[in-house]
Structures are given as C-alpha cells and as structure tokens.
Amino acid sequence: MRSLWANGFLPVIQTNIWDLSLGAGLKGKLEGGWDLDLSSVIGSNALAYTTAESNNVTLGNASPRSFYSGTLTFKQHTTNVDLTNQFATGLPSPLKVALGGEFRHEHYNIRPGTPDSYRDGGVRIIGGPNNGNQGGPGAQVFAGFRPSDAGSHTRESYAFYADAEQSVTAAWLLSGAVRFEDYSDFGNETTAKLATRFKINEQVALRGSVSTGFRAPSLVQQWFSSTATNFIGGVPFENKTFPVTDPVARALGARPLKPETSVNQSIGLTFQPAKNFTASVDFYQVEIEDRVVLSSNFTGGAGSPFLAYLASQGLAGTTGGRYFTNAVDTRTRGFDLNGRYVHRFDAGRRLTLTAGANFNKTEVTKSKTTPPQLAAVGITTPLFDLTERIRMEKGQPKNVINLSAAYDVGPFSFLGRAIRYGDVESVQFDSATPAQIAALTPGIRSYLRPTALAGANSQIVQIFPAKWLFDLDASYRFSKEVSFALGVNNVANTRATRSAPTVISNGTVFGGNDNQGSLPYLLNPTPYGFNGRYLYGKISWRF
C-alpha cells in the first residue's frame, strides 16, 4: 500500500518459541532380580507468529504495520515404566528380557490472531492497474489464524511391550519384540520385530531384521486449520486447510484419517580386520502404506460447476481448500556404508578417521486419484499433485557422503569434516510450453514433467546440483566438566543454487520460486540452506 510503504515492502514472519519440559524418574531393584526404571516427562512447545513490516490493504490507511497472527501450542505428558531381567537357560549366555508400558496424553491448541490480522476492512485498492479491485484480506504474506481456525484438541494412548534376546550359540544371536498400542482416536495395533546376528568368524558378522510399524496421525494432521486468500488470474480465492471432519473437506473428498503402517527390512555385514578398524554395510527397504500428506488445492472460479457443487452441499461462499489425507503408498530402498579407523600415538595422541555414505531412492508406489465427486464437476487436479510427488521422491538428496578426521592431543581436540549432498529437485514453473521453458531457463538444469507434446502445457522441474561443504572445529578442555570451542561451518562459503527466476513472456508471468527476484532462495529444497559460512564459539559445562 503506497501510503504506508512508498518504496515498497517485504513482510517478515517473526516467531517467538517457548519450549518447557520437566522430568522425574526412579530406578531400583525389585524381587526376583528385576531392574525397575520409572519416568515421567511433561513437555510443552508454543509457537507465536507476528507478521511484521506488512499491512492489511483492506484496512486502508488505518492498517497497522505489524500483526499478532496467532499461536500454535502442543503439550505432551508421557509416563514410562521399564523392567529388565536375565535368566539362565543353559545356552552360551542368559536370556535377556525387557517388559514395559507407556501412557501418553497430548494436547494441541490453535489460538487466533488479532482481528486486523485476518479481517476484511472493506477498503478496495486505490490506483494502479487493480484500482477498485478486492485486495487480499488480512496481513499480507501471512494472514492470522481466524476464530474459525481456532480449537483445542486432546487424546490419550497407552502401550505395552515385551522384548527378548538370546544367544542360541556362541556365534548366533536372536532377538524379538512385540508392542501393543491403543489410541483414544484410532483404536489399537500390534507391531513386532525379529532381528538376528551371526558371527561368521572373528572378523565378519552378518545381521538382519524385519519389523512392522504403526503411526497414528498426529493431532496437528487431524486438526490444523488455516485460511488464506490467494489471487488466481486477479480473482481472489478463499483457500483453507480444513480438518478432515469439516463439512467442506468431506465435500472435497476427505475421509477419516487412517494410521500409517509399514514393513521394514534390512540386512548387513560388519567387518573388523584389525582392532583399530571397523566397517559395515547395510541394505534396507521401508514400505509405508496410507502415508498422510496434504492434498492438492481444489478451487473453482465464479460460476464454475465446482462452486455450484459446493453451493448444492450448503457450502456457498467457499471457493476451495485442501486437507490432510492418506493419499499415497511409498517404498524407500537404499544402503549405508560406514568405516572407522583409530590410530593411537605415544603421549596420548590419537587420530580418528571416519567415513560414511548413504544411497537411497524413494518411490510413490500407489497414489489416489481425484475424488469422484470432484471429477464429476470437471475438476482434474489429482489428490496428490506433481509438486508434492517430486518433493517426496526427490526433495531429499539421494546420496550423502560424510568424511571426517579428528586429532586429540592432551586437552586439545581438532576436527575437520567434509559433507557432500547429492542432487535434489523441485517443481519451478507451471503451465508453460516446452518452447517457452527452453527460452526462459537458460543455464538451469531442468527437465519437463510430464513429457509434453509440442505446444502442450507442462511443468518444469529444476535440478539443484550436488555440493560439498567443509567444517572445522578446535576445542580445549579445561577439565572434565568445562570446555571451550571455536569453529567454522561451511568454510568455503558454499551457497545454494538459486531458484529458477520469475520471468515475463509476451505479457504472461511465469512464477519461479524466487518471488519475482526478491527471494532467490525461497522454497529452495537444498538441505544446507542459503546462509553460507557460519562462525561460532561456545563454552560447554557438563553437570
């Protein structure tokens, strides 16, 4: 708004975070040789949002420049009891047994922001190409949580487990575990794990495991609610992230959330040819069913069959939204390589070399289609769109290499580390033809997905190339309790690759993820961020 920001503005989302925790425990011996470990922990996290250096254009000149936008709070109280014991079985080692239980109470709360952070004040845009048009209600860049978004939700769960480990022979170790969980909002599930290790000789051992997993959708995934006004082609759309229980979400195809279930398998080899050198390789596969993700945004313009459908459901005034849903099944396959070498010199000097590498691939093996009630009124947007699929399959490096060298001499310790992050990918442009994309993205590694015929619209996926980062650290120990360290993370000041730029072709704006050049790393998926070199000093005190 020109009257408040004559030279333009760039809003800032500020956060205040409060983390509190309190724990207490008791350990002791019981009759029969049982060891008891009882603990109880209460934790709380509150995240308060302020949208600063902004304005609510619908309030005109009376608009504040800073807004309290609401608070998200999560609290958890967990109590655990664990019992362990050993029993002679006549085999090479005693049978180790563990029994336990857990009770957990969770509380999730959304508090709304001040009215000016979300309300429509009625003032329309004055001057410029949008003169007289509706502006986006609420603080620009992040409107506050509305009273309709607010709510308080709780649940309880309890679990019991049993674990046993036995050396069948001097070379063969076998272990198994079973766990029963019951949630107040998702029923119960039993999971199990079986693991084994076989010592081939003094240098080589084979290990493997198979297990099932269970994860109930979090309270956040069940109840998060947020409303925003998005402009598409200059037309305002009230888009909301709905809880799945909301009537609008159900009209958009939402179904009650189901727990995620998984099957995990691994097999590996450990190798120790010398006392000061160890290495291992592990292959793994993780299959997850009914993975909880955010759906696509479903919207429709004025007079569209989509809005008519919503009105027929008694939901007039809603122009679209999204929700959490069990939309996909995934499979992750990969392997880990690790090695460690320690050389001890005289006078207590020690050199430690470590190397590790992870290679993995995640695939969406099954994805739900557009809800039938939406397909019937012409909506072709898939339930789980390409942007989210690329983020899930290729938004994390397929490979990471970690090398380090540590040297200890007396009270001094020195560390050098090198990390290589592999390629990551992100959808950048939408609804552009191959010819337009080729002209608009010179020098950017990218490809079209899905592959489009000549003249057809498609999407461009940007490839962010692999990069090395280097860290250094030096510390001095004054005593066993107190030490001082100086270090540099990202010594070479390596920067993330810039996102594909926003460009204009024949009067049409093609939106890269750089916010028209003002934020060149906005939504950049690289794991090491864009801040570059980081210097630090720290004092550590152990109690």
Average pLDDT of 463-488?
Answer: 94
**pTM beyond 0.75, yes or no:** yes
Scored b (16 or more CB within 10 A) or e, 28-60 reads eeeeeeeeeeeeeeeeeebebbbbbebbbbbbb
106 close to 76: Cβ distance less than 8 angstroms: yes
Structure confidence by residue, pLDDT tens digits, 94-113: 999 999 999 999 999 999 99
Average pLDDT of 202-228?
Answer: 93
Strand-strand pairing, 235-242 and 320-344: parallel
460 close to 432: Cβ distance less than 8 angstroms: yes
**2 falls in which pLDDT band (50, 70, 90)?**
confident
Contacts of 111 (CB under 8 A, 6+ apart): 70, 71, 72, 73, 145, 150
Q: What is the mean pLDDT of the chain?
A: 88
pLDDT at 126: 76
**232 falls in which pLDDT band (50, 70, 90)?**
low
Average pLDDT of 265-281?
Answer: 96
Return the amino acid letter for 195.
A
pLDDT at 516: 65
pLDDT over 50 (residue 454): no
| Alpha carbon distance 29, 514 (integer Å) | 61
pLDDT at 449: 77
Token pair in block for residue 510: 């093609």
| CA R_g for the chain | 28
pLDDT at 511: 56
**455 falls in which pLDDT band (50, 70, 90)?**
very low
Structure confidence by residue, pLDDT tens digits, 5-35: 888 888 889 999 999 999 999 999 999 899 9
Q: What is the 3-state secondary structure (H, E, C) of 353-374?
A: EEEEEEEEEEEEEEECCCCHHH
pLDDT at 298: 87
pLDDT over 70 (residue 535): yes
**431 falls in which pLDDT band (50, 70, 90)?**
low
116 close to 64: Cβ distance less than 8 angstroms: yes
Instruction: Return the bridge partners of 448, or none.
Output: 460
138 close to 69: Cβ distance less than 8 angstroms: no
DSSP letters, 100-122, are EEEEEEEEEEEEE--GGGT----
pLDDT over 60 (residue 445): yes
Cα torsion angle, 483, 489, 492, 493, sign: negative
288 close to 329: Cβ distance less than 8 angstroms: yes
Structure confidence by residue, pLDDT tens digits, 62-94: 899 999 999 999 999 999 999 999 999 989 899
Q: Measuring CA to CA, how many Å separate 70 from each of 145, 215, 338, 543?
A: 6, 28, 45, 38
pLDDT over 80 (residue 384): yes
Average pLDDT of 255-271?
Answer: 96
Return the amino acid letter for 484.
F
| Cα 417-423-428 angle, rounded to 5 deg | 135
pLDDT at 96: 96
pLDDT at 387: 84
pLDDT at 131: 74
pLDDT at 430: 64
